[in-house]
Amino acid sequence: MTAEAVSAYYPQKPTKADNNLMAASAVVLNVKKREVWFVGDCLCLVDGVLYEYPKPEEVVNAEKRSKYIHELLKEGRAMVEELRVKDIGRESIKNELRSCCERQNRDYAVINGMDIPENLVHVISVADAKEIILASDGYPILKRTLEESERELERIIKNDPLCIDIYKATKGVMKGYKSFDDRTFVRIDLY
């Protein structure tokens, strides 16, 4: 994966992480080994049990953004629709986000063209699993079916488009967008 990222996006292999590198996450089912591998902040539901490995400080940064936006709204310094055009809450945590990016493949794994240290790849055994769902972190609440997961996402977006209450995130749903993040959902039934 790393070699593909390098050849597709960079003239030479990057040696230092920063916020200018493209970065992707992946959750992979290795059927032969009966394992699921996490490279980055994806989700997996194994027979109803959720596994997730968020980025370091993701919860702290989301909470900080939420608190700041709540202050802005309470004091009348911003309106919800304004924040959906320009997310100054996200801007308020940009240094923290930048710092997190600089620690890619040092503190947590991502696909960004650099070598991925094996010790940063989370691995779970699914030897006896009957059903596995692999998903990106664009699904805040992962359910057994795509329809149920989409319905939960829709409920969150309708009631909390800034992602500051029901689901605290480092970004909200910008005006004209359908969600706050990309989404991938794959359900695998094993027999």
pLDDT tens over the chain, length 191 residues: 666 666 776 777 777 777 778 889 999 999 999 999 999 999 999 999 999 999 989 999 999 999 999 999 999 999 999 999 999 999 999 999 999 999 999 999 999 989 999 999 999 999 999 999 999 999 999 999 999 999 999 999 999 999 999 999 999 999 999 999 999 999 999 97
pTM of the model: 0.90
Q: Given this model, what pLDDT does residue 2 score?
A: 65
| Alpha helix positions (H), the chain | 2-9, 58-74, 80-83, 88-91, 94-101, 146-159
pLDDT at 65: 98
Q: What pLDDT was estimated at residue 18?
A: 75
What pLDDT sits at residue 13? 78
Q: Report the distance separating Cα 35 and Cα 21, nearest Å.
A: 29
pLDDT computed for residue 22 by the predictor: 86
Determine which helix (DSSP H) or strand (DSSP E) holds 3, and give its type and residue range.
helix 2-9
50 contacts 43 by C-beta, under 8 angstroms: yes
Three-class DSSP category at 124: strand
| DSSP state letter for 187 | E
